[in-house]
Amino acid sequence: MHLSRYPSIALFVLPFTGLAQDCESGRYRTPQFADVQTTIAVPFGSNYGTSGGTQILFMDVYEPVGDVLEQRPVVLVAFGGSFVSGTRADVAEACIQFAQRGYVAIAPDYRVGFFVPNATTTTLAVLRGAHDMKACVRYLRKSVVESANPYRIDPERIIIGGFSAGAISALHAGFLDDDAEWPPVLAPQFASLGGVEGTSGSPGYSSDVLSVYSFSGCLGDTSWIQPEDLPLCSVHEVGDAVVPYYTQEVSVFGFPTGLIASGSHDVHLRLAHMGVDNCLLTYPGSGHVGYVSSDPEGSIGFVLDFCADLVCNGSSACGNIYASVDVPTEERTLSVFPNPTTGILNVGSWGDGPILVLDLLGREVLRVPKTAGNSTIDLSDLPDGTYFLRTAVPDHNPIRLLKTQ
């Protein structure tokens, strides 16, 4: 049963002091509650909308019926839609699954709307999503302090994530956390947009989260990931034609943007190098979030298990291991970072064989012996410009690479 109600006020409770009691019964791992109640359209912030004027940002709150626990972990679930469309209702089913396991699940708004894709407009769309998600986290903490914790949340256990564009928003909210990481293409707008925190609401409260999960998301720069950064769980198709699984130029509706972004494989490669807790589940094929339909128990269950590990144990059980559904040989290719590079390039591949570096005319300018696994190659002697990397296997798709000073 899926109920609705208006916001209510609960008594303020003391800060959370332990994890064992609420995890002993299998809570968070398996459904514990048959019914979920939903508070629709709670305003949590506002900002300048994509079509002009002020847009009020709302969230839907999903809570387990009959739950007596005074402080529950929170999971934000952001919808997809290429930053152009989508609504909170799109993620209702995922929110219900979380709430049935004992979480308070939040479906937040973030600003979407039509834009002509290029480097500036696409970066701005991603940043709007990240800013709005951070504002939602801040509002939840504000509600604990100023409104007597109406949703009975634990402000120290907040996890953010989503699907596609929602996952991209969550990744940037989680890992774009230093003003020095501000995207250069938006440098003139740093102050007006409010830096990495944004101006979407509840200033003065923390937007820090416990971890991030991603269904087919990507990150603008893997160098933002540093040791002791946030744990991450991702699910992605290796040949995703919408959001890249590796590192490559981003296209929106088929229009190239000039932006290079790293998908789940290369983000997790960086996390592993930094020693950060992470889990990656890879599916074959060129679909986009198709695993939610083809394998809902496996894909969503993977993330549910990760979240349960984090809220109960503070770390995941996967230990930097890449889980993988069988990926056909023809879909196995390279991963590289950083991209762009000034010279030294980290390369991962599925199999043995040399790596070829080609110029824009398709001419081979460098051939590097390589075996399966991760290694580095030095491109310092190559002139600055655009190149393509590929393996010696003819069917493997090349990766576009920018070499800069």
For the chain, what is the radius of gyration of the CA atoms?
21
Task: Give the pLDDT of residue 358.
Answer: 82
pLDDT of 280 above 80: yes
Write down the H helix ranges in 187-320: 190-193, 264-273, 291-294, 296-313
In this prediction, residue 398 has a pLDDT band, given cuts at 50, 70 and 90, of: low
The average confidence (pLDDT) of the chain is 87
- State how far the alpha carbon of 5 is from the alpha carbons of 40, 63, 93, 124, in Å: 7, 11, 18, 35
Please report where in the chains the tokens 């494989």 appear, as a residue: 265
Task: Give the pLDDT of residue 399.
Answer: 73
pLDDT over 70, % of the chain: 86
pTM score of the predicted model = 0.80
Report the topology of domain 334-403: Immunoglobulin-like (2.60.40)
219-236 per-position pLDDT tens digit: 999 999 999 999 999 999
Domain residues of the chain, as ranges?
2-329, 334-403
54 phi and psi, to 5 degrees? -90, 130
pLDDT of 352 above 70: no
Report the topology of domain 2-329: Rossmann fold (3.40.50)
pLDDT of 339 above 80: no
In this prediction, residue 323 has a pLDDT band, given cuts at 50, 70 and 90, of: low
The count of other CB atoms within 10 Å of the CB of residue 7 is 13
Q: Which residue has the higher pLDDT, 269 or 290?
A: 290
Q: Which residue has the higher pLDDT, 183 or 326?
A: 183
27-70 per-position pLDDT tens digit: 999 999 999 999 999 999 999 999 889 999 999 999 999 999 99
